[in-house]
Amino acid sequence: MHSFPHRYFVDAVAGPEGTVNVNSPGLDEIVSSPPPEFDGPEGYWSPETLLVSAVSDCLILTFRGVAKANKYDWTSIKVETEGILDRVDRVTYFTEFRIKATLQVPTGSDEEKGHRLLEKAKLGCLITNSFKGESILTTAVVSVIAEARE
């Protein structure tokens, strides 16, 4: 890992109407629009969906590191996040992130350890640590039978 502080650069360009083009050096452009909840069109990423996606993405990437450091074998993870945007005291912000992590592990794995490592990943996720809203994690660890190899 590089030493701190880390810096991330993004530019966004738009006209008076239409989409916003979001760019970062070396990355594909993202086209963004207000979400339908703010009268935007369907079919575009919005700042809100991008922010909520960062919660899921960060938890997965943090879990990878935690699992590796703990020599924990797993086969896949799915993280579903619901971000609750609300207006409190005349200020609109995400008040809560409901995160459901489903971890698949080989049969015979220590499932309790999987739950503990998911919790550790949640505590280490720099995205959720950066928010004012509460992050609530629900976990499931599911054993899967390894497929026979030919």
Q: Provide the residue ranges of all domains of the chain, joining segments of one domain with +.
A: 47-144
Spatial CB neighbours of 10, under 8 Å, sequence gap ≥ 6? 22, 23, 24
> Whose structure tokens read 């086969």?
75
pLDDT of the residue at 140: 93
Which of 72, 74, 59 minimizes the C-alpha distance to 119? Answer: 59
**How far is it, in rounded angstroms, from Cα 2 to Cα 23?**
23
**Average model confidence (pLDDT) across the chain:** 93
For residue 111, which phi and psi values (nearest 5 degrees)? -65, -35
Start-end of H helices in the chain: 47-69, 111-124, 126-129
pLDDT tens-digit readout, 28-65: 999 999 999 999 999 999 999 999 999 999 999 999 99
* CA-atom Rg of the chain in angstroms: 18
Percent of the chain that is helix, strand, coil (3-state, to 5): 30, 35, 35
pTM: 0.86
Average pLDDT over residues 61-78: 97
pLDDT tens-digit readout, 120-143: 999 999 999 998 878 889 999 999
The CATH number, out of the four listed (3.30.300.20, 1.20.910.10, 1.10.274.10, 3.40.50.2300), of the domain defined by the range 47-144? 3.30.300.20
pLDDT of the residue at 6: 93
pLDDT of the residue at 98: 95
